[in-house]
Chain A
Amino acid sequence: MYGLFLILLFYLLGCLISALIGNFVPGSVIGMVLLFAALSFKWVRPGAVKRVSTFLLDNMMLFFVPVGVGLITSYTLLSRYMLAIIVASLVSTILVIAVVGLVEQKLESKKDSAKNEKEENARTH
């Protein structure tokens, strides 16, 4: 219950800040950053939110369903722009994959990635 309280509290703080900056960034996203900061500065123990976070993230797909059913109200819009929606989304997705992959590979320091890989192997074995 304490974990749920913390998640709710950070969500509330996020919404508060979001309202103060004119809803520029969603309150939930600010809440995410605040939770991350609180964990990093050790104000909150990771163990305190681990169970509730895992529960929420494991079942995240369910939470999209009611909103998705709302498609029933925008069905005409969807069918009218079907082609534009599909082409734009798919082309843009390939661009994002390529750009992120190439930029990261170009900029990342070779030594560090080799080291990370070694550490990761040590972790998994």
Chain B
Amino acid sequence: MQELINSQIFLLTLTVGVYLGAIQLRRKINCALLHPVFVSILVLIGFIRLTGIEYEHYMQQTQIIDFMLGLSVVALGYILHDQIYNIRGNVISIVMAILVGSAVGIVSVALIARWMGAEPAVVASLEPKSVTTAIALSVSANSGGIPALTSVVVIVVGVFGGIVGPWVLKKIGVESRIAKGLAMGAAAHALGTARAMELGAVEGAISGLAIGLMGLATAVLVPILEKIM
């Protein structure tokens, strides 16, 4: 029995199964906190604790899922190409907004966390918080962060950004549809995009584009800004 529980086929099936179950749960009860990734992580942590499986062993056996993460980042290049018609005539403003936004995001989260006493590994884990998880994890690992911490922070930020985004934009008087979509995708990645789609087709498409651009800008800016800060 223990042998079966430790086997690759069992752990892979369990991981995908728990994830599908979490998605079903989300469909039944629509609550932002019941995010499928959150729920899956909690259930699997509970299972690992109960059965006494080492995390290193679990990670090794499910490595193929982790590998797919890298592939899905490459696939974002396809979405970027698919959305590019949306930004004709606004290339410069979009690039500027993303660069400034990315820098503000990295610097502000690092300074606040450091000021509140967080240690360097935690600060490095927070820096790529606005970026889609796949890119955030590589950036975090590259700069001495803890990928597991980053993955949870990214989801929290996405859920939060999706909820407050439209409200913040309204408060500060942003009316341009491109600006709204860009801000949602830049701050809250795919979860912001899901919300932006509800605002409108333009907002949704631009938001999807913002995910890719923000990921790129952050991957380049984090190592540079870390040297300066």
Which A residues lie at the B interface, using CB under 8 A?
7-8, 10-11, 14, 23-29, 31-36, 39-40, 46, 49-50, 52-53, 56-57, 59-74, 77-78, 81, 83-105, 107-109, 112-113, 115-117, 120, 123-124
Contacts and interface: CB of A to CB of B under 8 A. Distances in A.
Contacts of B215: 29, 32
B97 A36 contact: no
Contact of B92 (A99, A107, A113): A107
A27 B134 CA distance: 12
Given A72-B49, A104-B183, 4 more contacts: A23-B142, A71-B45, A96-B161, A105-B176
Given A61-B37, A66-B66, A124-B201, A49 B75 contact: yes
Interface residues of B, number: 113
Contact of B104 (A24, A61, A95): A95
A39 B159 CA distance: 32
B183 A100 contact: yes
Interface string B79-114: 111101010111011101110111011001110110
B142 A109 contact: no
A58 B77 CA distance: 14
The 8 A-B pairs at the shortest CB distance, nearest first, are namely A35-B77, A26-B138, A70-B148, A112-B89, A107-B93, A84-B116, A100-B101, A28-B73
B72 A57 contact: yes
Contact of B146 (A53, A62, A74, A86): A74
- At the interface, is chain B mostly helix, strand, loop or mixed? helix
Nearest to A69: B44
- At the interface, is chain A mostly helix, strand, loop or mixed? helix
A58 to B, nearest CB: 9
Contacts of A107: 92-93, 96-97
Given A112-B89, A116-B90, A101 B169 contact: yes
A74 B179 CA distance: 37
B161 A97 contact: yes
Contacts of B109: 88-89, 91-92
Given A107-B93, A113-B90, A29 B58 contact: no
A99 B104 contact: yes
B178 A57 contact: no
Interface in B35-50: 36-37, 40-41, 44-45, 48-49
A101 B58 contact: no
A95 B74 contact: no
Contact of B126 (A26, A56, A88, A100): A88
Contacts of A104: 93-94, 97, 176, 178-179, 182-183
A56 B182 CA distance: 23
B35 to A, nearest CB: 9
Given A69-B48, A103-B97, A103-B101, A8 B37 contact: no
A83 B116 contact: yes
Contacts of A50: 78
Contacts of B142: 23, 26
Nearest to B182: A104
A66 B90 contact: no
A23 to B, nearest CB: 6
B172 interface: yes
